[in-house]
Homo-oligomer: A and B are copies of this chain.
């Protein structure tokens, strides 16, 4: 007879399998599926999601959690068994709060809104999108209201944040992103005032796709992701999916006229995959197997993309092969030119194309607007105006139309509020990790310059990846860096790099410390 803990593990294993199967259907839809398959694919995905959810809110799961909780009471907090029960209980309690009809309505409405968004963006027609946006906000308010009195939630926006960044409160996120914004604005101003421009023309021109593919695969294998445990495909909007920790699907959008996507976007997605692959075997099929905080997940993709991938030693390591594969564009480029091109900082309209510094202003703007909407300070009809004003204020850019402004991202159309801030949070966490790593991994730069990433990967695995989803993000921060979220290291690192490239003075850090 199986113990209740074993029965709990079995049921959670099924829930995991259903989620992973759904991830495969989604990956396939975006990379392989013949277009005519879309309608039935939607039904298949919905069925898997519904069945998974039925199990997640089942009385049976609640009963097993209680029984297994009693079984594991005396085990250490960080033991696998106690952690599985703890994480499963939080999932169950959150899932049970939301009535099935509301959940179904959210799914239905956000699907409609996303389709409406596609058209609205194509026509730069915010008015056509507005009623859908209104409905999404209204439903998300009702969703948040389900969590009245839930442990740790105080602000109305907390439940929305929590779905992406468990345990993060709205005031905390406001403080972090505010400090980041205030730390970076002077840097961006200083770069602008300096009048120096960086020539990144070596990254543009003709780069045959098939060669880019070869190069991108070499690059991932080099990091290294485990051989035989990943693949790389083309798609429209790059993402990484873990069909299991040993079956990682990286995607990118190869651009025949720009080599950057095949380098930094690929490293970014490989960073996500490295995180998923670092979860120990004994946690697979459990709720601990997938790191659930988007901030931590993004910290890994950003760390590999920006701290490793845009660093001088790494680019020196890549350069010979880049020259060999793309002789026309890069045959004579030197390391300094490549390094400068990879780290160009220049305000631009579109978030997904933004550089590593101004990117965070795009995020700050979105999060501020989200909060103002949910706080009732901003009318949805006034959103484009507010957006454009803040783009002018933060990046000194005029927004020519809503397609390049408020309509550029899918998130609000898909009903995802509280998602954006995790992108910048990932940067901040990566900055803290990097400080720690450089002090603990000997010869880090030299090793990266030799293409030896084992020390770095092992540090991440040992200190972060092996925990999977065992801890809440705040607990994890304490364990990994020995303190809470801190914006300073990230801002300081960006200033350091800007100083190198743009000759901006390094002083004045005090103005952005909290």
Assembly CA distance A246 to B243 (angstroms): 24
Q: Are A247 and B33 in contact (CB under 8 A)?
A: yes
Set of chain B residues within 8 Å of A43, measured between Cβ atoms: 13, 17, 285
Q: Which residues of A contact B (CB under 8 A)?
A: 13-14, 17-18, 20-21, 24-25, 28, 32-37, 39-41, 43-44, 46-48, 50-51, 226, 228-231, 243-248, 284-285
6 A-B pairs with CB atoms under 8 Å apart are A21-B44, A36-B228, A36-B247, A39-B244, A40-B284, A44-B243
Instruction: Give the residue of B14, B25, B244, B247 whose beta carbon is less than 8 angstroms from that of A21.
Output: B25
Determine how many copies of this chain the complex contains. 2
CA–CA, A41 and B247, complex, Å: 9
If A14-B50, A32-B231 are given as contacts, then 5 extra A-B residue pairs at C-beta distance below 8 Å, sorted by A number, are A17-B44, A34-B246, A34-B248, A35-B229, A40-B243
How far is B43's CA from A17's CA once the two chains are assembled, in angstroms?
Answer: 7
Q: Given the interface contacts A17-B43, A21-B48, does A246 sit within 8 Å of B36 by beta carbon?
A: yes
Interface of A, helix, strand, loop or mixed by DSSP: helix
A17 cross-chain contacts in B, Cβ below 8 A: 43-44, 46-48
The complex places the Cα of A47 from the Cα of B229 at a distance, in Å, of 22
- For A39, list chain B residues within 8 Å (CB): 244, 246
Question: For A40, what are the chain B residues with a Cβ–Cβ distance below 8 Å?
Answer: 20, 243-247, 284-285
Residues from chain B with a CB closer than 8 A to the CB of A50 are 14
Inter-chain CA distance A24–B99, complex, in Å, is: 31
Residue of B nearest to A247 (CB): B37
Distance, CA A228 to CA B35, complexed state (A): 5
CB-contact partner of A246 in B20, B37, B230, under 8 A: B37
Closest to A51 in B: B51
Distance from A58 Cβ to chain B, minimum over Cβ atoms (Å): 13
In Å, the complex CA distance between A28 and B28 comes to: 9
Please give the distance in Å from A295's CB to the nearest CB on chain B.
Answer: 26
Q: How far is the CA of A24 from the CA of B24 in the complex (A)?
A: 9
The 6 closest A-B pairs by CB, nearest first: A37-B247, A40-B244, A17-B47, A36-B229, A36-B246, A35-B228
CA distance in complex: A44, B19 (Å): 9
Given A24-B24, A244-B40, CB of A231 within 8 Å of CB of B47: no
Q: For the complex, give the distance between the alpha carbons of A39 and B244 in Å.
A: 9
Chain B positions within 8 Å of A48 at CB level: 17-18, 21
Question: Whole-angstrom distance between the alpha carbons of A32 and B248 in the complex?
Answer: 11
- Complex formed: what's the CA distance from A40 to B283 in Å? 12
Q: How far, in whole Å, are A21 and B46 apart by their CA atoms in the complex? A: 11
Contacts of A244 in B (CB 8 A): 37, 39-41, 44
A248 proximity list for chain B (CB < 8 A): 34
B-side contacts of A44, CB under 8 Å: 17, 20-21, 24, 243-244
In contact, A229 and B14 (Cβ under 8 angstroms): no
Task: Please give me the residue from chain B that is nearest to A230 by CB atom.
Answer: B34
Chain B residues near A51 (CB-CB < 8 A): 14, 18, 51
Interfacial chain B residues near A228, Cβ < 8 Å: 34-36
Q: How far is the CA of A37 from the CA of B277 in the complex (A)?
A: 11
A57 to B46, CA, bound (A): 22
B residues less than 8 Å from A36 (CB atoms): 226, 228-229, 246-247
Task: Report the minimum CB–CB distance from A442 to chain B (whole Å).
Answer: 31
Q: How far is the CB of A246 from chain B (nearest CB, A)?
A: 4
Contacts of A18 in B (CB 8 A): 47-48, 51
Determine how close the nearest CB of chain B comes to the CB of A217; give it in whole angstroms: 12
Look across to chain B and name the residue whose beta carbon is closest to the beta carbon of A14: B47
Bound CA span A226–B34, Å: 10
- Identify the closest chain B residue to A246 (Cβ): B36
Q: How far is the CA of A201 from the CA of B311 in the complex (A)?
A: 58
A294, B39: Cα distance in complex, Å: 27
Which of the listed residues A40, A245, A285 has the most CB atoms from chain B within 10 Å of its own CB? Answer: A40
Please tell me if the beta carbons of B37 and A229 are within 8 angstroms of each other in the complex: yes
Which residues of the partner chain B approach A37 to less than 8 Å between Cβ atoms?
229, 243-244, 246-247
| Contact between B229 and A34, CB atoms less than 8 A apart | yes
A270 CB to closest chain B CB (Å) equals 14
Question: Using Cβ atoms and an 8 Å threshold, which residues of chain B touch A47?
Answer: 13-14, 17-18, 21
With a cutoff of 8 Å between Cβ atoms, the chain B residues found around residue A35 in the complex are 228-229
